[in-house]
Structure 1
Amino acid sequence: MTERPHRPKVPLTGGERDILTSLLDYHRATVAWKAGGLTGEQARQVHLPSELTTVAGLVAHLTLDEWFWFGVVVDGAEDTWEAKLEQDPDAEFRVPPGTELETLLADYEKQCARSREIVAKLSFDDEVTHKGETFNVRWVLTHMIEETARHVGHLDVLRELTDGLTGE
């Protein structure tokens, strides 16, 4: 079983930036903990009726979410996934055979680091427009806390079903 990782302490008082970014980083570290240490076969195990809800698929999905919301929406990168997702709305959950879990987790951490860099240079009140909708950085960060925490719950269940690992 994977040891409980060091996760950032979320301050109970302090500024909005410290609290919100620490909360997201806490959930990101939990993703790495819940997914870490599994074999490729375990990471692709299907425990639920949906074949898409696997540890590997969730890590790939969260990596795409980080890239999309912080890289594309906030930072203005080209959306190179739009066509893929139009053809298959679940494409990011379909991890190619042979893709190692360690690679997925490394890609996730790399994307999270890039997301931190993007947020660090902006005010939470800064606004961005994507496809005719305007967001502020605060909304995107809050959305990603919700998105990541929701999928941490999925990972928690999948990990317990896979090898019995439990813990907050």
Structure 2
Amino acid sequence: MKIGQADERGLLEGMVDIQRDEITGILEDVDEEEARLRLVPSLTTPLALVKHATFVEKVWFHARVAGVPRKEIGLPDTVEESFLLYPEDTVESVRAAHRAACERSREVAAGHELDEQFDWHGNRVSLRFVYVHMIQELARHAGHGDILVEQIRAARVG
């Protein structure tokens, strides 16, 4: 079924998956050195964006929806820490971790209804909210990645 003809759940899942693909695509045309280039003052690099997107998947689906404590998942305490890169972080390892996190997120979400409620800092939000939030979050970061990779490609020529 085409995404434009899907029911609400199919539409939400399809749109999240489109953005997940955009995130993994950030690393398609960069080498290890380029993936770590800091072109802005923050820790935002192509590799760090994909690593952060993995963190976001785990926070929202693995911890919040599945109810697994953050410490059990190995999540850092702060958002900023999710952008930190270590020597063992490679283009392939970060992409593989992101794909695995997305697959687990799909499995978790499949066991819940759109109207089911989850805690979010003392408030209740639905799985529908989680999907919409993820579409927004991933689209924003995919755009950041597009700009960074465009700058990297331009530097190759110049």
Q: Considering the TM-score relative to the shorter chain, is it more than 0.5?
A: yes
Shift of 1:36: 2.1
Answer yes or no: is the 8 Å Cα contact 1:34–1:155 preserved in 2: yes
Aligned residues with identical type, % of pairs: 31
Aligned residue type for 1:91: E
1:59 aligns with 2:54: no
Shift of 1:131: 4.3
Answer yes or no: is the 8 Å Cα contact 2:49–2:141 preserved in 1: yes
Answer yes or no: is the 8 Å Cα contact 1:10–1:26 preserved in 2: no
Shift of 1:102: 0.6
Shift of 1:54: 0.2
SS in 2 for 1:139: helix
Residue in structure 1 matching 2:124, options 105, 111, 134? 134
How many Å separate the matches in 2 of 1:112 and 1:162? 27
How many Å separate the matches in 1 of 2:59 and 2:39? 28
2:6 match: 14
SS in 2 for 1:134: strand
Please list every run of at least 4 consecutive aligned residues from structure 1 whose deviation after the TM superposition is greater than 3 angstroms: 81-84
Residue in structure 2 matching 1:123, options 113, 117, 123? 113
User: Which has more helix, going by share of residues?
Assistant: 2
Q: Describe the shift of the 1:83–1:104 C-alpha distance in structure 2 as closer, same or farther (beyond 3 A).
A: closer
Q: Describe the shift of the 1:120–1:84 C-alpha distance in structure 2 as closer, same or farther (beyond 3 A).
A: closer
1:30 aligns with 2:22: yes
How many Å separate the matches in 2 of 1:24 and 1:128? 19
Aligned residue type for 1:56: L
1:103 aligns with 2:103: no
Partner deviation per Cα, 1:23-54 (whole Å, 9 max, x = no partner) = 1101111111222242211110011222x010
How many Å separate the matches in 2 of 1:102 and 1:11? 29
Q: Describe the shift of the 1:24–1:10 C-alpha distance in structure 2 as closer, same or farther (beyond 3 A).
A: farther
Q: Name the count of aligned residue pairs.
A: 153
- Segments of 5+ residues of structure 2 without an aligned counterpart are none
- Segments of 5+ residues of structure 1 without an aligned counterpart are 1-8
